[in-house]
Each structure stands twice: as C-alpha cells, then as structure tokens.
Structure 1
C-alpha cells in the first residue's frame, strides 16, 4: 500500500500523543492512507488505522545524524505524496523532499529559539550561537508547503499564508464520561508528563515536605525525567512516602491515572517557552474533572478566564502549592465545585475540532483523494 501521507519523527516514540494518536490517527480516520515512521518504544498505544514503521532508539548525537537520514530514506521509499515532519533535526530534509517532488508539512511543536534560550546547562555564549542557528533553521522550515504549529505564538515565525495552529487538546474518551466524583477517589495529587527543572521537578519534590501538605495525601507522578535534571530531591521526596514517581507510561495509562486523582498540578517555571505553551496535561486534567493547581501564567489565566476550576500560585513556590492542596483537602465542597467546573470547561478544549481543521489542510494538499477513494469503495 502506498500511503497518501507519511508522518516522520526521528526523536518521538511511535506512541506519541500528538504525532500518532492525534494527527496521524485523525488523518487515517478521515480516510487517508497514513504511515508513521517514528522511534521504537516499549510502551503500548491504542490500535489505530495508521501503518507504523519503527526505527531504533539511539543516543542524541547518532539520532540527529543516523536516525534523521534513515527517516528521510524511509519517507522517500514510502512514495507518499505528503511528508509531515515533526522534529527540528529533520528540517534539513525539507529541500531534499521538495526536490523529490513531495509536498512537505513541518510541525513546530515548540518555539525553537525560545527553547534554546531555556537550556540552562548551556553557557550564555552557547545559547546565543545555537539560537542564531535556530533562526536559520526556521527560515528553511518556512519553505515547507505548510507549517503546523502547536500554538498561535509558535506560528508567528512562519509565513502567514502557510501556517496553521493545531492545539494539543485531548480526545474525548468514554472513560471520562463514566468518571466518579472527586470525593470517591483516593486523596491523590497527580502530575503527568516530562519532569525537568523548567517543568518544576524540584518544586514538586519540595511540596510533599512542606508542613502544610495534608496528612494522608500523596503526590503521584508519571513521565520521563529530562536527562540533564538531577533526581536527588525527587528521591528524597519519595523517601517520605508522600510522593511516588511511576516512571514512563503510555498516554492512555497516564490519563487513567488522572481518573483516580482529585487534583492535577502544573508547576512550570516562568520562561519564554512555558509562558507561551498550552500544556496538554492542563486539558487532560480538565477532562478528568480535576481541581487544578497551576503556576500563575497570564496566558493560562486568559484561557480559563470564565472558568472557576484553577487555583493559580506563584512560580517556584512549593509552599503555595501545598497550601492550595490543603485548602482543597479541608473544603470538599470547593473541591467538588472546581471539579465540576473543570468537566464543563473540558468540552471547549477537545481534539475533534482540531482534527477537522487538520484534515481540511490535507484535503487542500491532496485534492480529491478522499472523495475518489470513497467512490471506489462504494462502486465495489
């Protein structure tokens, strides 16, 4: 089978939420033939209509050279008319793919220059050099036929006529509709997703050691830990018995955890990157009907300005998070009210409308393909 669209990533695992379960699966569900080339993983994902080709996991340096080249070759061999790229390390392949007559979509998950400036382990001079190089990469990325971005802010660096913001809103699940009340769940605070300094790993580790952290409650975390991040404070928090890090789990297992929790926490530091992104976990917390404790971010306040389900706290303040947890623990009515408001708000932030806009983009790039396939099927 020759696919219509091939999604390509040399960095993301094949179980990735945005790459596979949202974007590639949405195109396949709409009637396109879709292949995914992505990195092997021991994790599992729900069955989709996407044809998955896995490439080996490699260390960063080898991945950027060997894996990106392997991914390009596989994309060309697929003969797909549309190639949808998902990593900055694949930007160099855009001119090659265009010369080969392919229609190219580049997916900017984050703002690359801001991301470079947030790398604390690099010196100022190193960050300045890499940021300068990243602007050059983005000029190449802007030559793609379409640029899909995770937020409007990320899209500002690309030509207006070719960019499209597709947000990482969660897809609806029957399990969310069957959820039980917060009071019927364990006394659990949940955090899902990557743990790093910018995403508040040390803040979370300190929360459970605050005098105000309520007795009988536990903080449960799942997700990978950034390689440059120290885990000493996290291990000390686990030693108290009030915190658990469950390691890396699949996207569905992460959402299942939320249905067992009462509160979700987003402890991001204020950086140029975190100030302009919509954390997927925030919307997954809403879908699970959780009360939410989040860093006081102006963008998130604006997004949820008419919804009373979030307690905003100062950045880098574990004591404020612990106090917010205690407030919910001591006021069940407030907890239930915020949970109900979260569930109501979740209806505004779902994947279905985003999927429709993404499929409409593919229809522009592949005119008549779905219609012809539907007619062919009907004539059989």
Structure 2
C-alpha cells in the first residue's frame, strides 16, 4: 500500500532515535502510513508501525554517491506524496523530488557550516572551502516545503515561514516510571552516545585516573566511536578496571543502562557545534533520575536555569569532573535530592509536545489525508 510519508536517510541506521523512533513513529502513531528508508543495522528497535526498507552500510564516498542515489530511487518508487529527508548529502535530491511533484521536508539535525568548522581532521583551507559549499547547500535546502530543525539556532539559516523546531526530547517509557531509587543502584557513572574528541572521549578516559575519582565507582559507556578518533587513552582507562565501553547498543538498551547508574556525564568540548546543540543524552539522564555532570555550556545553563540536579564543570577538565563525581559519592543525601529533581525536570522536556507539532506540520502539508485514511491503516 502506498505510504503517505517516506522518511529517507542514507547515513543514519534504521534504529536511529530521531529519524525512526521519534519522527517516523510519531507520524505512524497519528494515523499516517509511514515508510522509512535508512541504513541497515543489526541492532533492534521496538515495534513502531513504520514500514522499514534498509539499504547497505557503505563508506563515506560510496555512501555519498551510491547510497544517496539508491535512497532517491526508493523514495520515488514509494509514490509517497511527502518525502522527509534527514542528511545534508541528500540536499541535492530536493529539486529532483519537487520536479517529480513530491512535497519535501528537510530535517537539519545540526548546523552544517558550524559542523564543517568543527572538523579537526580538515586543514583550515579545506574547512573554508567546505564551509562555503555548505552555505550553498543550505540555500538549496531552504527550497524544501518545510525545514525541520533540532534547535532554534539551527533554524536561523532558513526562511522563517518554512521552518519548525522539533527538539530531541526523549520518549516517555514505563520503565522510567518504575525505576529504582538512585541509592539502590550500582555506583556507576554513565555515558551514552557517540564518543569522539569533541564529545569528550579523552576527558572521560582521564577522569577515572584522577585521584578524586571515588573508590568503588566505575564509568560505563555505550555508543559508537568516531572513526577518526584515537582510542589509546580509552583502552588504557579500561585496563584499570574503572571504565568499561560496551560498544554499540540499541537506543532502548542504552536507556536501560541509565536505570542502573547514579550519575550521567556530558563531557563535550567547546566547539561551534557543541555550543549550539541540546544533546539527547542530557534529557535521557533526567528521565532516568540521574544527577548530571556536564560541560559548562552557556546554552545548556540557560535551558536548565533553576534546575538544581546539574553540576557544570569547565571543558577539558577531568579533575573537575572527578571532583564532581566524588561530591555525589561523599554525599548520598545530595545525590538522592538531585535524582528527585531530575525526575521533576524531565517533565519539562517531553517528546509528546514535539510530536504534536510535527504531526501538525504534516497535516498542513497533507490536508485531509489523515482524516480520510481507513481505520487500522496506520501501519
């Protein structure tokens, strides 16, 4: 049966939190027939009512040529009237899709020019060239019927009349409502998500070797490691027995880890990109009732103003992070109080209002489609 909406990614795995479990799933739950074209992965995802078509995982150059072309062909063959694109490398398909009569939504997960300037492996000259190209791509992306952005900051580059911010706030889960009190959990500091130089892999590795890191505590990590990132320090940290990296797991398994931890850490370096994003893990920590230790980012401080469960530390400072962990280890009453405050704060950062705003956008672009869909057609 022809889908109403097809979400397309040539870079993200089919289990991706934002692409599948939030946005595509929200449309399916609202009654739209939804298909997802995304990269194959052995990881599992819960049933969402989304029809998934997987394309092979390829290295960067082959992905940019073969995967984007394959994804475009599959999107056109789906005959879906609305195509929701999720990667900068798919921007070139926007005019093709529009000429084919499709309504196009482009999803800007991050600010592309800032992302380019943050690539340490590029020379300054290369960064300047790619940043120039990225501005041209964004002008082309702005020709989509709507541009969905993960933050208001990312949206500043697109026409006001066409943009809508849909934040990466976590899905509500019954498991979070049944969580153990924080003091009944293992003495674990948790980190979930991608590890790279900019996302604090070296800070985490050095934190467990600091003299202030509390005895009997350990650091548990899950998530992919950026291919350009050295893992030498991480391997050394694991050899001490105070740190463990469990590799890549599914999104719900990552959140399950948090229910068996006491503290969550967000050790980002200050870069043009990290200064302007809301990391999903931050909100997932709150939902799991964790005290949070995070880099002192002005945007995060503004967002969390008045919430007392977050300890901000300077960037690139493993000693400060170790001291913050030790503070919680030495003061169980403080840890319990911050855990309770985290659960209260989590109510402010719920996916439900974001999903409603996303579905409202689809309703505007596909008038009368949802109301005329036969009963039981959501999957």
Partner of 2:284: 284
Provide TM-score, normalisation by structure 1. 0.98
- Post-superposition shift, 1:372? 1.1
Partner of 2:124: 124
C-alpha offsets along residues 117-162 of structure 1, whole Å, 9 cap, x if unaligned? Answer: 0000100000000000000000000000000000000000000000
Aligned residue for 1:269, secondary structure, equals: coil
* Structure with higher RCO (Cα < 8 A, 6+ apart): 2
Whole-Å separation in 2 of the counterparts to 1:230 and 1:371: 52
Partner of 1:151: 151
Partner of 2:162: 162
Q: How does 1:80-91 map to 2 (within 5 A)?
A: 80-91=80-91
Partner of 1:364: 364
Aligned residue for 1:209, secondary structure, equals: coil
- Post-superposition shift, 1:377? 6.8
Aligned residue for 1:8, secondary structure, equals: strand
Q: Does 1:347 align with 2:347?
A: yes
Whole-Å separation in 2 of the counterparts to 1:370 and 1:23: 16
Provide TM-score, normalisation by structure 2. 0.99
- Post-superposition shift, 1:72? 0.1
Q: Does 1:113 align with 2:113?
A: yes
Aligned residue for 1:293, secondary structure, equals: strand
Superposed structure 1 runs of 4+ greater than 6 Å apart: none
C-alpha offsets along residues 307-336 of structure 1, whole Å, 9 cap, x if unaligned? Answer: 100010000000000000000000000000
Whole-Å separation in 2 of the counterparts to 1:214 and 1:264: 15
Aligned residue for 2:300, secondary structure, equals: helix
Whole-Å separation in 2 of the counterparts to 1:41 and 1:63: 15
Whole-Å separation in 1 of the counterparts to 2:304 and 2:85: 31
Aligned residue for 1:144, secondary structure, equals: coil
Partner of 1:28: 28
Q: Does 1:79 align with 2:112?
A: no
Partner of 1:60: 60
C-alpha offsets along residues 36-83 of structure 1, whole Å, 9 cap, x if unaligned? Answer: 000000100001100000000111100000000000000000000000
Whole-Å separation in 2 of the counterparts to 1:45 and 1:25: 11
Whole-Å separation in 1 of the counterparts to 2:124 and 2:133: 14
Whole-Å separation in 1 of the counterparts to 2:87 and 2:221: 26
Partner of 2:324: 324
Larger CA deviation: 160-169 vs 364-373: 364-373
Whole-Å separation in 2 of the counterparts to 1:171 and 1:223: 19
Instruction: State the number of aligned residues.
Output: 377
Partner of 2:253: 253
| Unmatched segments (≥5 aa) in structure 2 | none
Partner of 1:297: 297
| Unmatched segments (≥5 aa) in structure 1 | none
Q: Aligned in 2, Cα 1:311/1:56: closer, same or farther, shift over 3 Å? A: same
Q: Aligned in 2, Cα 1:81/1:217: closer, same or farther, shift over 3 Å? A: same
Q: Does 1:275 align with 2:279?
A: no
